[in-house]
């Protein structure tokens, strides 16, 4: 008998590959760095999260997080409060990003 933790195996590479293909078509800038970030960002995400969101929504989520990290200054605590709908994805929450 096994006990489920509610966390599936890491996301299929195909999903992140699809995401990177979409980002290449829709985003400017350093796509290689953005895709590398996406692979790390989604490495331990439950599969259910990826399955319940479309590629455009995952892309918006990824770009928002990536841009936050880009803007963050190493000499301070960086905090951002975000309404997900303003970034092009949806969730019934307000998002607080922090980098210390």
What does the alpha-carbon distance between residue 68 and residue 84 come to, in Å, rounded to a whole number?
13
Q: How far apart are CA 55 and CA 51, in angstroms?
A: 9
pLDDT category at 12 given cuts 50, 70, 90 is low
**pLDDT above 60 (res 10):** no
The pLDDT of residue 82 = 93
pLDDT tens readout for residues 43-83: 888 888 888 889 999 999 999 999 999 999 999 999 999 99
């Amino acid at each position: 008998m096994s006990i489920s933790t509610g966390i599936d195996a890491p996301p299929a590479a195909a999903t992140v590959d699809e995401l990177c293909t979409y980002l290449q078509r829709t985003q400017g800038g350093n796509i290689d760095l953005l895709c590398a970030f996406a692979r790390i960002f989604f490495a331990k995400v439950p599969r259910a999260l990826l399955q319940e969101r479309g590629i455009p929504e995952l892309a918006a989520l990824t770009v928002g997080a990536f841009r936050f990290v880009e803007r963050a200054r190493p000499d301070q605590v960086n905090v951002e409060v975000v309404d997900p709908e303003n970034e092009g994805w949806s969730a019934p929450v307000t998002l607080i990003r922090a980098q210390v």
